[in-house]
Amino acid sequence: MELYNTMSRKLEQLEDIVEGDEIRMYVCGITAYDYSHIGHARSAVIFDTLRRLLEYIGYRVVYVQNFTDVDDKIIRRAVEEGKTQREVAEKFIKEYFEDMECLNVRKATHHPKATEHIDDIIEFVQKLLEKGYAYAVDGDVYFHVPAFEHYGELSKQTLEELNKHRIEPDERKKDVKDFALWKAAKEDDFKAESYFHSPWGEGRPGWHIECSVMSAKYLGVPFDIHGGGKDLIFPHHENERAQSYALFGVEPVKIWIHNDFVRIRGEKMSKSLGNIVRIRDVLQKYEGEVLRYFLVTAHYRSPLDYSEEAIERAKKAYEYLKTTLLNMDMEIAYLKTFGDREAGNLEYGEYIAEFMDVMKHDLNTPKALAILHSFAGYINKVIFNASLEQLEKMFDSFKTLCSLLGLFEKWERIPVLTAEEAKKIKERERARKERRFDVADSIREEFAKKGLQLIDTPKGTRWRLR
């Protein structure tokens, strides 16, 4: 399997990098100060899809996704609303999980929070101080970038480019590129109850240190895959790598993977532009699986343009796959009720092989969707000529491929009818043929009360769940 490594800027064979059958993967989660938007959804769906694929091909995945639950933005909101930092963070973490459930994004193996690891963070910072990579000033602790000679290698920025970035301007810094490991508590920290005891006084962790600490704690160093949005390459992941490499003396991550942005009319979503699209707002109009389908219609390393027209196209394409699955399920229930039929050979293994090939080639979901639609077209051509055994195998194969993309996981199978119900179906067909529509309608209503909708087709009556 090939994956694009942001560090090497090339495709790399996973089997050459990973040892054994376990993959340890860390993905940056949200900063919990507001409702999550579709950019967050894209990252979550992409890495959930990668996890599904890795598990399907035989790896055991230990998946860690953190929550930043102490941060300037959280504290600002807490002060504005008269709440604590914890109250704000817990609310939006809860909302995030609800959104993810609608998108069929499975929970990680571990979901650690920064505030649960304050002692670990303090210990990590102390060790960086001891090794000469950090210094304390008036209750703040900074990482000294010039002390780490490999800085900039992940983002591929030159020293001149790095000097343009003043992430946290402070004349007390030894170098403009230095960044905070620990921040001394200020007035708003006390108001929001967002401070912790440390050897440097009351304060709280900087943003970057939490991921270094939690990834090492749950996955060890080095671990296999680190993921996140493209906007995290610099400064977050560059700084995270620097901290971990400085402390442990080795590259902390084997493969860095980053997904591109969701754009609105060609522009990245941002609060300053007022073009944020929240997940919950989309879910008021569309099923979660429709949004998930849309989020994998572009390759993860390419930008994805969101619009009403684009999601409507995704909805139609999604419904075609859903109808294909439904058609097979109805036919299986029919054959189990009224008896099997003989059929010739069906050849569809090429669709499965091609699907897996493109998914293993750097998670090429748009090509995978195209193959899935071709497979659906084939199914709809042969469905009334297939035997029960063939249909059941084809149903399982098609649904498995869909589930690798996170689709149709909660599918409820269509029931087989009892002998009495089967007799009623035949009675209704005779009534319709004899134009006794009142009888036919009465039988339809009987089935409706049982939660079944009768479907009249050229091949006879089929049924589905209402």
428 and 355 inside one domain: no
361 and 456 inside one domain: no
Instruction: Give domain status of residue 85, yes or no.
Output: yes
pLDDT for 164: 67
Q: Which residues in the chain show pLDDT less than 70? A: 159, 163-169
Instruction: Give domain status of residue 296, yes or no.
Output: no
pLDDT for 163: 67
Long-range contacts of 15-20 (CB under 8 A, 24+ apart): 17/224, 17/254, 17/255, 18/59, 18/224, 18/254
Instruction: Give domain status of residue 244, yes or no.
Output: yes
pLDDT for 168: 65
Instruction: Give domain status of residue 300, yes or no.
Output: no
pLDDT for 271: 77
CB 254 within 8 A of CB 224: yes
pLDDT for 166: 55
Instruction: Give domain status of residue 388, yes or no.
Output: yes
pLDDT for 154: 96
Q: Which two tokens stand for residue 447?
A: 């089935």
pLDDT in tens, 13-68: 999 999 899 999 999 999 999 999 999 999 999 999 999 999 999 999 999 999 99
224 and 120 inside one domain: yes
Instruction: Give domain status of residue 291, yes or no.
Output: no
pLDDT in tens, 148-194: 999 999 999 876 777 666 566 678 899 989 999 999 999 999 999 99
Helices (H), 66-114: 72-81, 85-102
What is the domain extent for residue 342?
309-404
Alpha-carbon distances of 153 from 27, 159, 213, 305, 338, rounded to whole Å: 20, 10, 21, 30, 66
- Alpha carbon distance 275, 37 (integer Å): 10
pLDDT for 427: 96
314 and 255 inside one domain: no
400 and 436 inside one domain: no
- Alpha carbon distance 79, 192 (integer Å): 6
Taking each helix axis from N to C terminus, what angle separates 207-219 and 118-130, rounded to the nearest 10 degrees?
100
User: What sign does the CA torsion over 127, 130, 133, 136 have?
Assistant: positive
Instruction: Give domain status of residue 299, yes or no.
Output: no
DSSP 341-355: --------HHHHHHH
The number of folded domains in the chain is 3
391 and 443 inside one domain: no
Instruction: Give domain status of residue 169, yes or no.
Output: yes
Partners of 263 in the beta sheet? 268, 305
φ/ψ of 276, rounded to 5, equals -70, 130
340 and 434 inside one domain: no
217 and 117 inside one domain: yes
- Alpha carbon distance 331, 461 (integer Å): 10
CB 73 within 8 A of CB 207: no
82 and 150 inside one domain: yes
pLDDT for 74: 97
